Structures are given as C-alpha cells and as structure tokens.
Amino acid sequence: MKIYDFLIIGAGSGGCNCAHYLQQRGLSVAIADKEGVASGGSGAAGAFLSPLAGVQNSYNRFINSALEYSLEFYEKMTPNSIVKKGVLRVENNNFNSAKLQTNSIKNHYISAKELQEISQNFTQIDGYFYENAAILNPHEVCQELIKECDFYNYNVKELKYEDGLYIFDDFKAKNIILAQGVIKSIVETPYIKIAPIFGVKIDVKTTTKVPFNIHKSISVSTNKKDSTISIGATKERHDTSEMECLTSCDKCAFYVNNEQGQVEELLKDARELIKLEDVKVTKVYRGARATIKSYFPVIGKVIDYEQSLKKYPSIKNGTKIPPELLTYFENLYIINALGSRGFVVAPMLAKLLCEEILDSKKVPQELSNEKLFYKMARTKVST
C-alpha cells in the first residue's frame, strides 16, 4: 500500500497549487477529487487575474500583492496558458470613477473616443485601464500544477487515522490538506461558515478581436490563444442556512433548467460593452465559489472546536488562550474560501500554508482560521 507525505482533497485552484508547491519541495503528493480536476468553482471561474481598485485597506492590499505574485508565477510555470493584455474596468454601481482611479496599481483613463479608435466594436463606454491583468485557462493550469502528482478520481467521505497515518482504500497519507470549496468539510469546522457564490462562464467563438479584458458587472476576456473569448459573471449567492452544496453545479437541481437564460444574459451584457460578431457558444461552465463574510481566504491547521472549548471553556468569556494551546486535528490542514479570485490568491496562499507546515512560519492573522475560531467561540451561546 502506497504511503504519501500529503493527500490533498479537492482539485481546484487551491488544492492544485498546494500540490505543486509540496511536490517542488520534494514531497510525495496525491490529490483526490470526486468530480475531477478543476471540476467545480475553479473550472467555472473566468480565471481573470485583475487588480482590486479602491481606497487602500488590508483586503485589497492582500489581493493586489497576491496578483503581483500570481502573474509572475503563472508566466514562469505555464506561459502557454496565460494571456496578459491588461483589463479595462468600466464604472458600475460598486466601482465609481473615483474608486477605479484609487489604486496602488497604475492605471490610466481611456475615453469612449479613444476606445473607438482602438476598435470600432466598442460601444459608447469609457473606463480605466490596468496593465497588470491577464486571463488563464483554468483547466490547463490545474493539470500543469499536478502533473508530477498522483491524481485519484475518488470521493473521500471520512478520515480514518491510525498510528500516525490516514488510511484509505489502497493508499495512506501522513498529512491531509482540505481544499473542498463549497462541499461540506469532512471534519467539523463550525467556525468557518462557507457561503457559496454561484458563477457562470461561457467560452465563445467570435470573429471580433477583443484587445484586452473588459470588466463591469461581467467580465469579457481578450481572445485567448485558441482565439475564443470567455464571458463570466457571479450570478447568485446561496443562503447556506437553506441549502448545502452536495454536488457540482452542472448536476444541481437549483440550476439545471436555467442554462439558456444564463447564456443569453451573459451575451446581452457583453454586447453592451463590445459588439460581438459571428458568435458561437462552445461551452458553458457553472460552479459555486466558496467565500466567508470577511472575504479573506482561510488557511492553516484545523482546530478541533469542541475539544478546544472543552479544554478551555473560559474562551467563551474572552479569556486569551494562545493558539498553540488549542487542540488541533492531527496533521490536518485547510485552504478554503478563495472566492471569485481563486487563481489570483491560490499561489500565494499555497506558499504561505506550506511554509507554515514545513518551516513553522506563522500564517498571517487575517488568513488564519484561528481568528474565526476565537470570534465564534466568544459569541456563540453555550448549548
């Protein structure tokens, strides 16, 4: 029976980047996903690498720092899967012109007249152009990331831990990383409240040349290396108190009858930005992306919530118990809540998580699940 140093459960952007990083450090890595590589929210993602505009705060500083890291990472690792031509951000309800101008990443205004000179297919829009932006092929990237790892099309339903090893049907693993996205966690992590956000993307053949990515309430990509473009948008936020993601969106009854309307709406919104000619939709992707209320991703060692509170019940009253004294599940880690910017943040998150595991470097507080644990423990009424 084969023994791996790590098994990663979930083959989306987070899981695949962790697998790559660990394998580069000389460790044996397996990755398992019941639906396949990049089959959920990561496969449905537009995989747009774009800056986050607005007044500087801890969140957009993190996003824009992760963007710089990921652009360099993907250009080196998988140059054939990235097209870097920048993005035009068009004003919408969430981002007015003042907010689009305010960013540590350089940008410049392009008027409607100037856009018409670039391409007569542009409608009467204007916007702010950011050079540091790109689009990826998510499936190619994820496959490249795990090419040196063993992949199992396998549904891990429970974790059995004996004598320092996690045991499965025909292999064992010393460590586990949970990268499950919106799927219910195999272990109880009540302090990580995942909110699935539904996204839809279409790949489109068109004779229109789109000079760069365009983003308003939807995203339209530049022509990729196969000459197609992608059009994507976030469409729905689930209420997790009412429904739980148990399968992929392509099989979910909540969406299965809505495809035609979703495609038509994407095309309509895209044509309000740029005229698309000779359009043929080649593929539709749907998937739910995992977020939490703070929007920050979550990485780190997995805390045993019940045992930690049993050991230190005074935490509920605000007693400051150091994180190292909490009870953690053995050799169990998590990377989750990457949201709609999964491919932007995943390379940096994988590096930070793996450095915590291998080099004992502490995860930044805003990304740590310990922060979520303390918040829930101190606000939850004891039952």
Mean pLDDT of 220-246: 74
Dihedral angle, C-alpha 54, 136, 47, 217, nearest 10 °: 60
Percent of all residues in the chain with a pLDDT value above 90, rounded to a whole number: 76
Cβ atoms of residues 129 and 44 within 8 Å: no
Q: Is residue 380 scored above 70 in pLDDT?
A: no
What ranges do the domains of the chain cover?
2-40+140-193+294-379, 50-67+83-135+197-286
Q: Which residue has the higher pLDDT, 241 or 373?
A: 373
| Per-residue pLDDT, 240 | 42
Q: Is residue 241 scored above 60 in pLDDT?
A: no
Q: Does domain 50-67+83-135+197-286 have CATH number 3.30.9.10?
A: yes
Q: Which fold has domain 2-40+140-193+294-379?
A: FAD/NAD(P)-binding domain (3.50.50)
| Per-residue pLDDT, 124 | 96
pLDDT band of 149, cuts 50, 70, 90 = very high
| Per-residue pLDDT, 252 | 59
Ranked by mean pLDDT, which of 41-50, 55-64, 287-296, 350-359 comes out on top?
350-359
Buried b (16+ CB within 10 A) or exposed e, 13-48: bbbbbbbbbbbeeebbbbbbbbbebbbbbbbbbbbb
- Are β-strands 229-237 and 2-9 bridged in parallel, bridged antiparallel, or unpaired? unpaired
| Per-residue pLDDT, 98 | 80
Token readout for 1 is 């029976």
What kind and span of H or E run contains 145? helix 138-145
Q: Is residue 77 scored above 70 in pLDDT?
A: yes
Q: Which residues pair with 213 in a beta bridge?
A: 87
**In this predicted model, what pLDDT tens digit does every residue of 15-68 receive, in sequence order?**
999 999 999 999 999 999 999 999 888 878 778 999 998 878 899 999 999 999
Compute the mean pLDDT over every residue in the chain, rounded to the nearest whole number.
91
pLDDT band of 257, cuts 50, 70, 90 = low
Percent of all residues in the chain with a pLDDT value above 70, rounded to a whole number: 92
